[in-house]
Structure 1
Amino acid sequence: MSASSSVSAQPKSSITVRIDRDITALDPAFRGGPHDANVVRAVFQRLAALKVDGTGLELDAAAELKQVDPTLIEFTLKPGQMFTDGFGEMTAEDVKFSFERFAVAPVDGKVSPYKADWAGLTEVEVTGTYTGRIKLSAPNAGLMTVAIGDCSGCIVSKKAVLERGTEHNTHPVGSGPYQVASVEKQRGAVLRRNPDYKGARPAFEEIRVNFIQDPKTTELALRSGELDFAVLPPSIAEPMRGASGLSVENYPGLAYIWLGINMQKAPFTDMRVRQAVRLALDVDQMLLAGFNGKAPRLNALVMPPVLGYWKDAPVYKRNVAEARRLLAEAGQTSIKTRITILNQPAYQSMALVARALLQEVGISAEVDVQEGGTYWDAGKGEAGKNIDMFLMRFNGKLDPSFLMQWFTSSQIGLWNWQRFASPEYDQLAQQAIRELDPAKRAEIAIKAQQEMDKSAAFVWLTNDVAYVVRRTNVKPAFLPGAIDWQLDKFTPA
C-alpha cells in the first residue's frame, strides 16, 4: 500500500484545510474576507444559517424567526446557548449589540466595512431576555441571505467584545460548533470542537486551517497527505486528477475577476484612454494564459446564477486601430503605466499578456507583483490615489446587491480602487437593496452595470471556476462557488 493510500485509509478525528490569505480578524464585523469568514461561521451562531445548497435558511440560534412585514423581523432565541470562556448565556442584548455595531452603534466609532450588509437597519429592540425586533427604515431585499444568514449575522458576546477589544480578533468568543484553540501569524488557526455547543455535533474533533499562499506548495501538501482540502487554480488542480487518495471536482465560480483602471489618475482621467485600454486587451487570450482556458468569460459584474445577470452585455473584441485612434485623439501616444497584481501564477500570466497587448498600442506597462499584505492595501486610503491599473478578484454571493456594494462612491479609499464615482450608480445600488420584486430588481441591477460599462474603468475577465481538491475520505460542505465553506458540516466520506 502506498503512503498516500495509507493516509486515506486511517480514520480521521481531525482534518487540515488550506486558506490562501493569512488570518486577518476572526470578528464577524471586521473580517478580512472569506479566509476569515470560513472560520468565523464555525465559531459563531446566527439566528438562522444558509443551507449548504444556498436555497434558503434553517434556524440556528433562533427558536423562531419571523418577517412580520418588509421592515420588521421578530426573533426568539433558544435558551441555554452558552458563549465559551465563561462569558455566559446568549441573550437578545447580544443580538442587538452584534447587529447594531456594524453601523448603527459602532464600538469606539469603528464602522464595519460590511455595513452595507445591514443597509436600512435602524434598531434592534430588545423585548425580553430571548426576544427582540429587528427594525428597518426601508426594505432590504438581501438581508436574510447576505446578513442574517451569513457572516454578518454572527452573534458575538457583547461582554467579550468590550472586554477583549482588539484581542477578540484572534481570541474570539462564540457559541458555535467550534472554538478557536490558537491563531498564529503566517500559519493559520486551529479549531477544536466546542463541548458546550447545543446544535448538531460536528464530525471532526479538530480542524487545522493552514495559510499556504503558493498553489504549488498546496499541491505538494495535498499529494503528501498533509492537507485534506483546498480550492486551487485549474492549472494546478487538473494535473492532480487520478492522484492516489485524491479527488478533483470543478464547479461554476462565484467570484469576479477584472482589470481595473483608476479613473482619478492621469492619463486615465480621460475616458478615451480608458476605452483604448479596453480595446487593446484580448480577454480570451488573457484567460487562456491565466486559467488554461478553463474559466468562462465574464462581460459584466453579475454572473449567470445571480439575479440581474446582463446577458446582452457588450463583448469587447480587441481593436488595435481603434485603440490607437482614441489615444491619438486624447493626445496620448506614449504612456508609461503600472499593473499592480497579487503574487499568484494566474494573475502573473494574465498581466504579462496584458503588458504585451498594451505595448502594441503605445502603452508601456510595468507589472508590479506584490505579496498579499502589501497588495491588499495598494488601492486603499491615500496610497490608492497613486494606483494605475490592477488585477482584482472579489468573492461573490448569490445576491446582486452584495456584488454591487463595493463600487459605490462611499467605497472609494476602501474597495473601490477604480475610484468610480457615479451618482447614478449609487442611486441604483440603493434601489436594488430596497426593491423586493425580483423582476424589477434585476432591471435595476442591469442599469447599474450599464453605468459601470460607460465608465470604461472595468475590463471584466471571468467569474472564475472553483477546482476543489480533497482527500477521498473527506466530504466537504460549501455554498455554490466553493467560496463560503461550512466547516462544521465537513464529514468523513
Structure 2
Amino acid sequence: MDASNNIGNRTPGGLSRRNLLKYSALGVSLAGVSSLLAACGGEEGAGANISTKLLRIHLDEDISNLDPAFNAGHTNTTVRANIFEHLVTYRPDKFELVNELAEKFEPSSDGLRYDFTLKKGIQFHGGYGELTAEDVKFSYERIAGLTEPKIKSAYRSDWIALKGVEVHDKYSGTIVLKEPFAPLLATTLPVGSGEIVSKRAVEERGEAFGTSPIGTGPYEFVEWKRNQQVVLKKFANYGGAANYADKPLWGELRFVVIAEDNPTTIALETDELDFAVLGPTTVARVKKNNSFEVIEKTSLRYNWIGINAGHPNFKNKDVRLAVIHGIDVPSIIAGAFNGQWTRATGIVAPGMPIGYWKDAPVYQRDLAKAKEFLAKAGAQGMKIEMSVSTGTPGGAKVAEIVQANLNEVGFDVKVLVQEGGVFNQATPEANAQKQLFYMSYSTKPDPSWSTKWFTSDQIGEWNWMNWDNKEFTRLHNEALVEIDPAKRNEMYIRMQQLMDEDAVALWVAWPTASLAKRKGLKAPVRPDGDFIPWTFGRDA
C-alpha cells in the first residue's frame, strides 16, 4: 500500500500515536526525524512519489460553518474554495480575473449592469440538478437580504449596492446595481460572497446547509469530525467550469485540524501532512528538512489587540490609552513570532492597492505615560480580561506578554484561552463581554474588506470593539461607490485616523504567510498567501 494512504493507525485529527511511540522507543528525537526521513528519500522524481489518492492539508483551526453567507474564518474559506464556484474568480496564483461558471460576463459602461451567461451542464453535488440562473439570483440576493425569509449575513455589505438579479432564461441573467460599487470585481464576485449555492439545497437543509454544503465545485463534502478533520471527495459529475486550472487530481482532500505549531511540524516530519501552515517559530526547522519546501508571502491580513470600548472597563478613553501605551509590540513580535512578522500600524497593509497610511503613528511602550493615563482615569488595580483563541498562531504568547506588560502598568489581567470555534462563534452577548482580545483577520485586495468589520452595523457581529463611529461608517459606505482611486485612498486613510483617535485598537503585525509543501507537490499560491488545495498538482 502507498505510504501516503496507510492511515489505519492514525488518530483522526493528525499525528499517529504509533509513530510517536515508535520514534520514542528507538531513542530518536522528534527534532531529528526530519533528517531521518530526508535520508530515506531522494529528490529525483519527487512528484511521482506522491499518491493522487489522498492529499492531506493542514488547518490551523477548526471550521465552523461552510455556508458562504455565514463564513466565520479563514479555514472555512480554505475548505469552501473546493466546494463552491463563482461566475468569475481569481486564478490560483495571481489576482487576475477569469470566468468560472460564466461562459460570458459583460459589465455595462456605467457599472450598473453585469450580464452573464452560464456554462451549460454544470451539476450540483448530491443530485441537486443543473446550475441555473435562478441559483445565481438566489445566492446573491440571499446574502444581500433580499430573499424571504430574510437572513442576516455578516457579508451583506458585499452586496449593499444590489438592486436585484434579473433572470432572462435558464442560463442567463443580469446583476443590477442601485449605484456603482467599486469592490464588486475585486472582493465580492471573485471571493466568498460570489460563491453560488443550490437554491433547492439551502431551502431543504436550512441551517444544516452550513455543515452539509452543496456546490458545483470539483470536490463534494463527505464529513466533518469536530477538531479532527474535514473530508471531501472528488465530484464524479464535475462540470469542469474551472478550466483555467489543470483537472482535479486528488481522489480525496483531507483537511487535518492541528492548532499548535510543534505538533504541526511533527505531523509533516512523520508523513501525516502534505501541506501545512507554519507558525513563525517552526519555519527555520522546516526549511532544514530536505523533504519540504517553504513558500513565504507577506499577507494582507492584520493582527491586532482589540479594546471593547462598549465594556464598562473601557468606556473611558484614558483607560484605553493606558493599554495602548503599556504594551510592548516589538516584544510580542519577537516572542510570539520569532521576529519574522512585520509590525502593523493600521488595518491596511503596504501591499494593498490603495489605503495604506504610511504616516501612521508607531506606538512604543511608555510605562510612565501608561501609568499616567491609568491614574487619570482612577482605574489603578482594575481587573480586566484578555481573550485569545487557540487557533490564532502565537495567541497564548501574546496574552502572556500583554498580561505582564499591563500588570506592570497597574492593571490586574486575567487571560482566557478559548478553543477557536468557541472564540469565533460566541453569541453577541458573549462577544459584548470580551474586554481585550487578540485577533487576526484575513482580507482581500480591496481595503473595504478590511474596514467593513468595524462599521456601526457590525456591532454584535464582528465589531467586537463595539466601536460606534458614525464618520467611519459614512466614509466606508461612500468609498464603496467612489470610483476615483485617489479619493478612495484618502477615505481609507481617514478611517484609520479615526480608529487611532478613538484608541480602540493596538495594531500588532501584518503576518508573513509561511506554507510548507512536500517536495514534488505543485502548489500555486496567491500573492497574499491564499491557496486553493484542489488546484495542487505534482511536479513532472
Give the structure-1-normalised TM-score.
0.95
* 8 Å Cα contact 1:104/1:121 also seen in 2: no
Q: Distance in 2 between matches of 1:188 and 1:140?
A: 38
Equivalent position amino acid for 2:507 in 1: W
Q: Distance in 2 between matches of 1:263 and 1:152?
A: 29
Q: Distance in 1 between matches of 2:450 and 2:377?
A: 33
2:144 is equivalent to residue 103 of structure 1: yes
Q: Distance in 1 between matches of 2:475 and 2:442?
A: 21
The residue aligned with 2:402 is: 354
Q: Distance in 1 between matches of 2:401 and 2:332?
A: 6
* 8 Å Cα contact 1:101/1:111 also seen in 2: no
Match of 2:531 among 485, 488, 491: 485
2:49 is equivalent to residue 10 of structure 1: yes
Match of 1:205 among 241, 251, 257: 251
Report the Cα offset of residue 180 of structure 1: 1.7
List aligned pairs for 1:113-132, cutoff 5 A. 113-132=154-173
* 8 Å Cα contact 2:142/2:150 also seen in 1: no
Unaligned stretches of 5+ residues in structure 1: none
Report the Cα offset of residue 45 of structure 1: 1.8
Deviations 1:378-417 (A, max 9, x none): 5x41122322111111112111000000001111111111
2:327 is equivalent to residue 281 of structure 1: yes
List aligned pairs for 1:295-314, cutoff 5 A. 295-306=341-352, 307-314=354-361
Q: Distance in 1 between matches of 2:75 and 2:393?
A: 19
Q: Distance in 1 between matches of 2:183 and 2:64?
A: 26
Give the structure-2-normalised TM-score.
0.87
The residue aligned with 2:369 is: 322
List aligned pairs for 1:209-248, cutoff 5 A. 209-248=255-294
Report the Cα offset of residue 243 of structure 1: 1.1
- The farther-off stretch of 25-34 and 63-72 is 25-34
2:475 is equivalent to residue 428 of structure 1: yes
List aligned pairs for 1:81-480, cutoff 5 A. 81-106=122-147, 108-199=149-240, 200=243, 201-306=247-352, 307-343=354-390, 346-378=394-426, 380-480=427-527
Q: Give the 3 Å change call, closer, same or farther, for CA 469–271 of structure 1 in structure 2.
A: same
2:75 is equivalent to residue 35 of structure 1: yes
Equivalent position amino acid for 1:12 in 2: S
Q: Distance in 1 between matches of 2:395 and 2:272?
A: 26
Q: Distance in 1 between matches of 2:502 and 2:147?
A: 34
Unaligned stretches of 5+ residues in structure 2: 1-34
* 8 Å Cα contact 1:146/1:402 also seen in 2: yes
* 8 Å Cα contact 1:189/1:208 also seen in 2: yes
* 8 Å Cα contact 2:300/2:348 also seen in 1: no
Q: Distance in 1 between matches of 2:209 and 2:379?
A: 51
Q: What is the aligned length?
A: 491
3-state SS of 1:397 partner = coil
- The farther-off stretch of 108-117 and 293-302 is 108-117
The residue aligned with 2:8 is: none
* 8 Å Cα contact 2:72/2:424 also seen in 1: no
Report the Cα offset of residue 109 of structure 1: 3.0
Equivalent position amino acid for 1:43 in 2: I
Deviations 1:253-294 (A, max 9, x none): 222111111112223111111112111112111111110110
- The farther-off stretch of 165-174 and 270-279 is 165-174
* 8 Å Cα contact 1:254/1:480 also seen in 2: no
Q: Distance in 1 between matches of 2:211 and 2:403?
A: 40
Q: Give the 3 Å change call, closer, same or farther, for CA 156–374 of structure 1 in structure 2.
A: closer
Report the Cα offset of residue 345 of structure 1: 6.1
The residue aligned with 2:22 is: none
* 8 Å Cα contact 2:64/2:421 also seen in 1: no
* 8 Å Cα contact 1:233/1:467 also seen in 2: yes
3-state SS of 1:133 partner = strand
Deviations 1:101-122 (A, max 9, x none): 1023345332222111212111
Deviations 1:218-260 (A, max 9, x none): 1111111110001111102221212131112322122211111
Q: Distance in 1 between matches of 2:144 and 2:95?
A: 28
3-state SS of 1:392 partner = strand
Q: Distance in 2 between matches of 1:249 and 1:41?
A: 20
3-state SS of 1:374 partner = helix
* 8 Å Cα contact 1:104/1:122 also seen in 2: no
Equivalent position amino acid for 2:214 in 1: V
Q: Distance in 2 between matches of 1:104 and 1:72?
A: 19
Q: Distance in 1 between matches of 2:189 and 2:431?
A: 32
* 8 Å Cα contact 1:12/1:492 also seen in 2: no
* 8 Å Cα contact 1:138/1:434 also seen in 2: yes
Deviations 1:434-492 (A, max 9, x none): 1111111111100111111111010000011111111112122232222x322221111
* 8 Å Cα contact 2:297/2:514 also seen in 1: yes
| Seq. identity, % | 37
3-state SS of 2:58 partner = strand
* 8 Å Cα contact 1:238/1:248 also seen in 2: no
Report the Cα offset of residue 6 of structure 1: 4.8
Q: Distance in 2 between matches of 1:363 and 1:214?
A: 29
Deviations 1:55-79 (A, max 9, x none): 3210011011111122211111111
Q: Give the 3 Å change call, closer, same or farther, for CA 374–198 of structure 1 in structure 2.
A: closer
